[in-house]
A and B are shown apart, each in its own frame.
Chain A
Amino acid sequence: MALEIGGKNIATDEEGYLENLTDWTPEIASAMALAEEQPVTLTDEHWEIINFLREYYEEYQIAPAVRVLTKAVGKRLGADKGTSKYLYSLFPYGPGKQACKYAGLPKPTGCV
């Protein structure tokens, strides 16, 4: 599969995750969100999580499981944000899968 952004084709797997992590740009994240069945316009709150995931991946070379993401977000961005309710309100398809996809990361280890 491929995603067309600014006239360029970006390779993705059958679930829409980027084939090459290095292809990622913020525009790709925005385009993925707008391409959903119910299009999403990314807000600062979304970006906070997307950027957090990219930093986590940079440091540990993995996309964290939702449980781990929730705990880490709570510690880094404040306890009010470290809840599944908050994360699901931003990423209703599942914070692990959806946010990781927008962040250009592979599917979280342990997600099916």
Chain B
Amino acid sequence: MTEVSYLEHGHSLKSWLLTTDHKRIAILYFLSITFFFFVGGAAAALIRIDLLTPEADLMSNEGYNRAFTLHGVIMVWFFLIPSIPNTFGNFLVPLMIGARDLAFPRLNLLSWYIYMLGGLFTLAVLVLGGVDTGWTFYTPLSSMFANGNVILAATAIFVVGFSSILTGLNFIVTVHRLRCPGMTWGRLPLFVWSIYATSLILVLATPVLSITLVLIAAERLFGVGVFNPALGGDPLLYQHLFWFYSHPAVYIMVLPALGVISELVTAAARKPVFGYRFVAGSSIAIAIIGFLVWGHHMFVAGQSMYASAVFSFLSLAVAVPSGIKVYNWTATLYKGHIALDPPFLFAMSFIGLFVVGGMTGLILAMLAVDVHVHDTYFVIAHFHYIMVGGTVSAYFGALHYWWPKMMGRWLPLVWGRLSAIFIFLGFNLTFFPQFILGYLGMPRRYHVYPAEFQTLHVLSSAGASVLGLAYLLPFTYLLYSLRHGEKAPPNPWGATGLEWTVPSPPPQHNFHELPTVDGPPYQYPVEPDAERETAHG
């Protein structure tokens, strides 16, 4: 008996907006975060156009502050944090562990509605004129002096935090309680391990941010002295509380990407992953050590030098589990039968850019060097190599890899390869010059700069235009594939994992009968269901 796929199970708007199917909720998230990706991208475009010349040609000082704040707020909380967990995590975790849904399906839908409510608050901030504090909301600027919509923006982030917490909680309970028979912890796909580690951070760190935002509101609205020295508060306390959340939040953004790459590399090499236990364990290690490094954001803020020394050491230590992953992916590829498909190209792009971002992170973790490059474009380039070069590349890699499973349609492989290459080139042209700019002394958040920096800024803006077009490209051919793509078989890439054992797209309840797992993960090689190269180029 052929079961109806989740896409065909009801076509009305109501059937989508009231769905509790994890796969449909994943699609709702996909559409929403794509929208916010382009809104945040539009703010980035304004910034890069303004920086083409040393003078303030396009925006006022205030306008520029509001543009980069909006870019940061939207990209961090409305794209990067929910991107991989809420779309691919939602879609894949139950399929990968042999479950019919997440543990709390209605809570899952509620998470999406809360996300959308937070998004509406953010759009209201945009319509009402924006906010100018930077995405970090540093005090006492945000609590006393900023004249933008600080409270509204803080409310948006406060609200969307609950979506994060509920999603994290849902994943943790699902992984603990809904694994199918035989799916032991040692057999979990590495993507599930990374989502589990991410969920721990979501649940433990997000409440601290929520409380901190409430404290800003208390100080701004009622004059309660928490962060303002004039009222008996301490501005550094804000930075401690903010980074106690926001540095682990970096790992919320990148850990799911690391999980995606583990899947993509293994499938591309058609070999069992090298050092499964170490790759899985390194996700948990990153989640734990990631909580102990936040003070490296405060080396020049007046923090005690003894605390700075401890934070510096721990920041260097977090590179170890990250390095384990990179070495293990490389060892997995060694002597593999590598297929140069789009997901693999995105994975290779990720590995290269993540290594550059990671190595420059080590530079920033060193106390003395950080004094020179703190708050410069060096830092901007560093975290964009991790967040954009890393996470966004992995996001697109995941999109190409699981698209046939999610939509039941093949994508054009040639266009996929081209877009991976264009994104890689556009990204490097945009952000590599920023390392040099920063090292030469160009501060972040300035839009008027000395004329000698213009060449590097023009290069960066030119790269941003390539990158912007390259990001649009996949959406055009993926949309095209929905109508004109050939139907995808259950296992088009010849990959292991329970998600590839069900039809593409999967039926509403995933498995007709719950599967039983009787062996370790990644038992490659597996023959693909279709001859891709001849049929799809």
Q: Do A and B bind each other?
A: no
